[in-house]
């Protein structure tokens, strides 16, 4: 659906690019990557996080760093 802020020329160039078989292959690969599992507990629908970690992993790290060890843990 073309928006008014895109010129007809730009819109047509995008449509041409979207029909390119190479673009379609990349689009499918990227869609599969977004659906792939890279995390454990707390990994949501978006698996590619750009180096970010989930809230659950952050909580685990904070507990391991901030909660003092008990003698029974050593």
Please list the pLDDT of the chain residue by residue as tens digits (74 residues). 777 788 889 999 999 999 999 999 999 988 887 776 655 555 555 555 667 788 888 898 998 888 876 666 55
Q: Is residue 59 part of a domain?
A: yes
Q: Is residue 16 part of a domain?
A: yes
Q: Is residue 74 part of a domain?
A: no
Q: Is residue 45 part of a domain?
A: yes
Q: Is residue 1 part of a domain?
A: no
Burial of 3 (0-12, 13-18, 19+ CB in 10 A): exposed
The candidate with the shortest Cα–Cα distance to 42, out of 55, 52, 33, is 55
pTM, two decimals, is 0.43
Q: Is residue 71 part of a domain?
A: no
Count structural domains, the chain: 1
CA dist 43 and 57 (Å) reads 9
Containing domain of residue 40, as a range? 7-66
């Amino acid at each position: 659906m073309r928006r008014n802020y895109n010129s007809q020329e730009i819109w047509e160039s995008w449509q041409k690019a979207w029909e390119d078989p190479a673009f379609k292959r990349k689009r499918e690969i990227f869609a599969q990557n977004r659906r792939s599992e890279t995390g454990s507990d707390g990994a949501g629908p978006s698996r590619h996080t750009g180096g970010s970690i989930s809230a659950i992993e952050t909580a685990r790290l904070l507990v391991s760093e901030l909660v003092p060890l008990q003698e029974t843990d050593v």
